[in-house]
Amino acid sequence: MLCLTLYHLVRTSKSNTFMLNIKRILVTGGAGFLGSYLCEQLVEQGHDVICLDNFFTSQKSNVSHLLAQPNFELIRHDITQPIFLEVDEVYNLACPAAPGHYQYNPIKTFKTSVLGMTHVLGLAKRCRAKVLQASTSEIYGDPEVHPQPESYRGCVNPIGTRACYDEGKRAAETLCADYHRFNQVDVRMVRIFNTYGPRMHPFDGRVVSNFIRQALAHEEITIFGDGSQTRSFCFRDDLLEGMMRMMNNPLDFMGPVNLGNPDEFTIRELAELVIELTSSKSQLVQRPLPADDPTRRRPDITLAQEKLSWQPTVPLRAGLIKTIEWFQSINMADYRAPTPCY
Ligand code: NAD
Ligand code: UDP
């Protein structure tokens, strides 16, 4: 570690100015929607970035623009298997995040959260690395408390179809807290609420990508249930800013901390906004509501404001405009649907 630190002290950044704090950073799930943007930011800051991914819900093209950078490395690896690397920090994002993806092979999803977290924490313990865990608002299940503060312990059906994800992420938080208490691993947990933006997988089946894809093709917009359920949508750049603030926070504060946009919308309102912004001729159609679909969700971000001086800055309309522009710029045929979706 000493050699690594000395090396970091003398290395120069891309812009050729001396940087005293260059780190070697592992991003698991680094080729995904959030991970690829995080890798991009960290490479830009001059850090040595190792992106690890098994490409289940992503593809190499998300990070192909980084491959020529001397401070970027890509490893195809499944985090359910151990890995030996020497790093200063780990952002643990490896896990399918869309309901259709994580329910496709629920046992694998659970293993990805629990075994993946165990391997990451073991690695961090060995090389005294700091770990940030990408946890989720799904920790709260179908919440009886609204909005949801971190102190709320949640209402999760442990044997339902969402449990592989919800309980897997809950167990991962348990592992983080115990590695911190028993092994002094420096952990940070962020509970991410629905996040959207450029580079989301167009066939991930999530509501924002589905609605934009359907609207641009003037196809029916699929509302699950009556569309009165709510979500709070955070733009990708806001979320990543909060995540990096949590990792770099000098306080002895492991969280968990909610990261999300507290503006709450019904799913029907979202559909109407997407239709307006795309000038689409699409009609709304109702489909059955999936089991255990949370009726409402909105983060209480008081803790993030206090500890990280963080709050979202991009309203839904502005974020959707950027996301729609990105969807218009890509060739959908270049994307393989990881699992069947609408
Ligand atoms: P994503 O599906 O685009 O990214 C996940 C990445 O992990 C993909 O590249 C996938 O191939 C990889 N992966 C999956 N299983 C793996 C395994 N076993 N080994 C190695 N790599 C594996 O999803 P995302 O939206 O970018 O989410 C990133 C993280 O943030 C996830 O952990 C997710 O649970 C969490 N999160 C995201 C949201 C959101 O709204 N986007 C909300 C809450 C939590
Ligand atoms: N949803 C919908 N139509 C779709 C996809 C999703 O009405 O085509 C609904 C879904 O039932 C849920 C909400 O949109 O109530 C958000 O779904 P998503 O899969 O994006 O994420 P979740 O918050 O449920 O994990």
C-alpha 214 – ligand 1 centre gap (Å) = 23
Atom 41 in ligand 1: residue holding the nearest Cα: 195
In single-letter form, the type of residue at position 205 comes to: G
Judge if the beta carbon of residue 137 lies within 6 A of ligand 2.
Answer: no
Examine residue 52 and state whether it is found in any structural domain, yes or no. yes
Q: Which domain holds residue 37?
A: 22-334
| CA–CA dist 108, 189 (Å, integer) | 22
pTM of the shown model: 0.94
Tell me what pLDDT residue 9 has. 46
Tracing tokens 């949801």 back to the chain, one arrives at 148
Selection from 162, 264, 268 nearest residue 224 by Cα: 268
Q: Tokens at residue 110, please?
A: 């659970």
Helix (H, G, I), strand (E, B) or coil at 144: coil
Best of 28, 51, 52, 56 for a ligand 1 pocket test (most atoms within 8 Å of beta carbon): 56
Dump strand ranges (E) for the chain: 24-28, 48-53, 72-76, 89-92, 130-136, 187-192, 195-196, 221-224, 230-232, 234-235, 257-259, 264-266, 284-287
| CA atoms within 13 Å, Cβ hemisphere of 189 | 24
Examine residue 5 and state whether it is found in any structural domain, yes or no. no
198 prior amide bond cis, ω within 30: no
- Number of domains making up the chain: 1
Examine residue 4 and state whether it is found in any structural domain, yes or no. no
Helix (H, G, I), strand (E, B) or coil at 135: strand
Q: Are 256 and 173 in contact (CB under 8 A)?
A: yes
Looking at the CA of 34, name the nearest ligand.
1
Looking at the CA of 339, name the nearest ligand.
1
Examine residue 75 and state whether it is found in any structural domain, yes or no. yes
Tell me what pLDDT residue 340 has. 67
Question: Cβ–Cβ contacts within 10 Å for residue 82, how many?
Answer: 12
Computed on alpha carbons and rounded to an integer, the radius of gyration of the chain in Å comes to: 20
Catalytic sites, residue numbers: 165
Query: Which parts of the chain sit beneath pLDDT 50?
Result: 1-18, 342
Q: Residue 306 belongs to a domain with what CATH number?
A: 3.40.50.720
Residues belonging to the chain: 342
Q: 291: Cβ–Cβ under 8 A, 6 or more apart, which residues?
A: 160, 161, 162
C-alpha 337 – ligand 1 centre gap (Å) = 15
Selection from 223, 208, 219, 198 nearest residue 274 by Cα: 208
Judge if the beta carbon of residue 66 lies within 6 A of ligand 1.
Answer: no
Examine residue 2 and state whether it is found in any structural domain, yes or no. no
Best of 210, 224, 316 for a ligand 2 pocket test (most atoms within 8 Å of beta carbon): 224
Q: Are 33 and 192 in contact (CB under 8 A)?
A: no
Report the atom number in ligand 2 closest to the C-alpha of 97: 25
Tell me what pLDDT residue 337 has. 78
Examine residue 339 and state whether it is found in any structural domain, yes or no. no
- CA angle (65 as vertex; 59, 66 as ends), nearest 5: 95
Examine residue 183 and state whether it is found in any structural domain, yes or no. yes
Q: For the chain, how far is it from start to end, CA to CA, in angstroms? A: 48
Q: Tokens at residue 215, please?
A: 């609207």
Judge if the beta carbon of residue 223 lies within 6 A of ligand 1.
Answer: no
Examine residue 281 and state whether it is found in any structural domain, yes or no. yes
Q: Are 169 and 117 in contact (CB under 8 A)?
A: no
Q: Tokens at residue 332, please?
A: 């959908």
